[in-house]
Amino acid sequence: MVQYTPARSSSSVLYQRSSDLTLQSNDLALVRLFMALQLGAGLALIISTATMCISFRVKRHPTWISFCVSWIISCLSYTLLLISGYETTPDPPFSLCLCQSVLIYGVPVLTSFATLALVVHLHFSMSALLHEDQESRTIHVSWLLLCPYVLFAIVIVEALELGLAQPELIIRGIFYCRSDAGTQGKVSSLLVALAAVVGMPCEIYTAVMVYRQWPKFRYAENPQKSSLAFLLRVACFTVAAVVAFCVSMLFTSKSTISSHPESVAGNILLALVPVAAFLTAGIGMDIVRSWMFWRWSSPVTFSS
């Protein structure tokens, strides 16, 4: 690792970059793949989320929209250098690098708890349907919406303070800027693990509850029935997201140089998660029908 003064920043602060940051053809191809996955998923989620909010033919619960928004923020965070035009520049401005490193440690917490909020909402929806308890459908919705973003704000403020206090720990890697401070990674990993530990049993409990009362659920005249298939999709996504994040953190921790082969593999795997998020919650037949303006006279199906 080497220290240098950013050429495009007026700040006299020194920070670090990988000593072998000069991009080879293979590295450049991987950077483009990583950026394409992140940016493509982000744009797809933006279009889907806008459709959910604007189209009268699509109905989604606020926790569903919050889930999509959290992944949009994640994609924008990882592509910040690309959006700013510094994706292949070894010395981006320190303020930009600091901003990205702070966001990257915050977005895993945001997305994991937004996923947990969606899982909890689905649990209460299923419980309300099976037990005919209408009041439980709106229980603590505000908390489900606020908690992921409050935790996100706490993590990025802590990361920002540490980055400003120890700017030499900010590293310009091949894919993005990050901090070499172990504390930030541990805090983020622990919070993600906490969300997974709470979310997975909740998913299992909900699935068991539905299975035990399947006859009642099967013949219930309620649009919440469509939530069962979505619950299974969320369960698969949660497992995949947690595995990808853990593998990425494991690979990255093996080397401080982001061009390390294992770190590259981990980051490409991590870039597939927002694509899975889009396939899980960002697309549906009602959304597709709302885009097919030439068939708007057809009956409309709403999803919860």
Dihedral pair phi/psi, residue 94, rounded to 5°: -60, -40
Does 8 fall in a domain? no
Q: Give the pLDDT confidence score for residue 223 in this predicted structure.
A: 47
Does 2 fall in a domain? no
Q: How large is the average pLDDT for residues 283-287?
A: 78
Task: Please determine, for residue 167, whether its predicted confidence score (pLDDT) is greater than 70.
Answer: yes
Task: Please determine, for residue 103, whether its predicted confidence score (pLDDT) is greater than 60.
Answer: yes
Task: Please determine, for residue 16, whether its predicted confidence score (pLDDT) is greater than 70.
Answer: no
Q: Give the pLDDT confidence score for residue 3 in this predicted structure.
A: 36
Task: Please determine, for residue 243, whether its predicted confidence score (pLDDT) is greater than 70.
Answer: no
Task: Please determine, for residue 286, whether its predicted confidence score (pLDDT) is greater than 90.
Answer: no
Does 216 fall in a domain? yes
CB 238 within 8 A of CB 203: yes
Task: Please determine, for residue 69, whether its predicted confidence score (pLDDT) is greater than 80.
Answer: yes
Q: What is the 3-state secondary structure (H, E, C) of the chain?
A: CEEECCCCCCCCCCEEECCCCCCCHHHHHHHHHHHHHHHHHHHHHHHHHHHHHHCCCCCCCHHHHHHHHHHHHHHHHHCHHHHHCCCCCCCCCHHHHHHHHHHHHHHHHHHHHHHHHHHHHHHHHHHHHHHCCHHHHHCCHHHHHHHHHHHHHHHHHHHHHHHHHCHHHEEECCCCEEECCHHHHHHHHHHHHHHHHHHHHHHHHHHHHHHHCHHHHHCCCCHHHHHHHHHHHHHHHHHHHHHHHHHHHHHHHCCCCCCCHHHHHHHHHHHCHHHHHHHHHHCCHHHHHHHCHHHCCCCCCCCC
Does 244 fall in a domain? yes
Domain count of the fold of the chain: 1
d(CA 104, CA 37) in angstroms, rounded, equals 16
Confidence of residue 4 (pLDDT cuts 50, 70, 90): very low
Long-range pairs of 34-38 with CB within 8 A, sequence gap ≥ 24: 34/78, 34/175, 34/267, 34/268, 34/271, 35/79, 35/82, 35/87, 37/268, 37/271, 37/272, 37/274, 37/275, 38/75, 38/78, 38/79, 38/271, 38/274
Nearest to 101 by CA among 71, 84, 81: 81
Q: How large is the average pLDDT for residues 105-121?
A: 90
When the pLDDT of each residue in the chain is averaged and rounded to a whole number, the result is 76
d(CA 35, CA 268) in angstroms, rounded, equals 9
Does 294 fall in a domain? no
| In the block, residue with structure tokens 């998923």 | 41
Domain that holds residue 114: 24-288
Does 14 fall in a domain? no
Does 264 fall in a domain? yes
Q: Give the pLDDT confidence score for residue 97 in this predicted structure.
A: 92
Token pair, residue 149, equals 């973003």
Window from 247-251, 280-284, 286-290, 299-303 with minimum mean pLDDT:
299-303
Does 43 fall in a domain? yes
CATH number for the domain harbouring residue 139? 1.20.1070.10
> pLDDT tens digit string along 38-50?
999 999 999 999 9
